[in-house]
Amino acid sequence: METLRELDIVRAIPGAVRLARAGDGQEGQDGQERQMPTMVVRFSPFNTWYEIDSWWEGRFLERTVRGAFAKTITENASRVKVMFNHGRDMYIHQKVLGVPENIREDADAAVGDVPLFDTSYVRDLLPGLEAGAYGSSFMFRVIKEEWNEEPGRSEHNPDGIPERSITEVRLFEFGPVTWPANPDATAGVRSGTDAYYEHLRSVDPARIERLAARVTELRTARAEQPPAKGTAPAPAAAPAPTDEPAARHSGGLTPRERRERLFPYLTKGASR
C-alpha cells in the first residue's frame, strides 16, 4: 500500500469523552467560583484493529500502537488544539474549547485532559458532554508506519486486506464530535478523512484538487504496475468507481453515489 505522506487524516470513536473535577476553586468572569469541569478525551485506543474504507486513503485495517504519540507529545503538545467537530460547527466554528493540560499515553490509549473554558459556547456543550452523547475524534499525520501487505485471513481480518500499524504520528487536534463512528465499522472506529476534506474544499479548493489528482495518479500507477512473477496481483488501495452494489461501510450507497455525495467537484459534468 502507498499513501500520500502529507495527507492529514481523521479518526473517530464513540464513547470516549467524559467530564471530571468540576469546581476547581478558580473565579469566573462574574466573580463566582468557576464550576467548569475538565474534559477527559481518550481519542486513540491502542492495538485495536479497525477498518479504513476511504476515497482518500483506500481500504485496509489499521491500528495505533503505544509509543506512537510519545514524540509528538514531547515536541508539539503546546500547539495541539481542542475543538468541537474539528472546528466545522456552524455556531462555534474554530473557537477552542480549552487548552489541554496533560496529553499522555496510558496503557490502553492516547488521552488528553482539557480544563474547559468558561464561555457561552462551551456551556452550550455541557449537557451533551455530561450525558455522554458525544464521541471523540482527532486529526494527525502519519510519520512512521509498518505494513503487512498479505496478512492472510484471520478473525480480526476476515477478508485478508492489508494491515497498517502506525508507530509514530504528529498530532494536530482532538475533541468531541457529534457523529463519531459508523456502526458497521470494525471496533467502532472510522475514518473521518473524507468528510474533513470535503469541508476543506470550500476553504481551499485548489489544494484539494491537487491532492485529489495526486491520489488518482498514485492509484493509477499502482494499478498499471504488473505483479511480480509467480505472485497474484496486489489488491488496489480503493476499488474503481462502479455502479455495483455497495460494499460494507458505504452507508448503503453505491460507490458512485458515495463519491458524488462526498466529492461533487470530482464528478461535476460527468455522464451518469
pLDDT score of 266 more than 90? no
Domain range annotation of the chain: 9-192, 205-267
Q: Which of 44, 237, 238 is nearest to 139 (CA)?
A: 44
Angle at 156 between CA 138 and CA 55, to 5 degrees: 50
How far is the C-alpha of 181 from the C-alpha of 229, rounded, in Å? 41
How far is the C-alpha of 132 from the C-alpha of 96, rounded, in Å? 20
pLDDT band at 110 (very low <50, low <70, confident <90, very high): very high
Q: Residue 174, Cβ neighbours under 10 Å: how many?
A: 30
pLDDT band at 261 (very low <50, low <70, confident <90, very high): low
How far is the C-alpha of 132 from the C-alpha of 100, rounded, in Å? 20
Burial class (CB in 10 A: 0-12, 13-18, 19+), 241: middle
Q: Which residues contact 240 (CB under 8 A, 6 or more apart)?
A: none
pTM for this model (two decimals): 0.78
**pLDDT score for 224:** 74
**pLDDT score for 54:** 93
* 3-state class (DSSP) for residue 68: coil
Q: Which of 41, 31, 52 is nearest to 164 (CA)?
A: 52
**pLDDT score for 102:** 95
Q: Which residues contact 173 (CB under 8 A, 6 or more apart)?
A: 80, 81, 82, 83, 86, 87, 138, 139
pLDDT score of 233 more than 70? no
pLDDT score of 22 more than 80? no
pLDDT score of 78 more than 70? yes
User: Which grid coordinates are listed for 99?
Assistant: 487548552
216-228: string of b/e by CB count within 10 Å (b at 16+)? Answer: eeebeeeeeeeee
Question: Within 13 Å, how many C-alpha atoms sit on residue 208's CB side?
Answer: 20
pLDDT score of 122 more than 60? yes
Q: In this structure, what are the phi and psi dihedrals at residue 222, rounded to the nearest 5 degrees? A: -70, -40
Q: Residue 206, Cβ neighbours under 10 Å: how many?
A: 8
pLDDT band at 28 (very low <50, low <70, confident <90, very high): very low
**pLDDT score for 141:** 97
**pLDDT score for 107:** 96
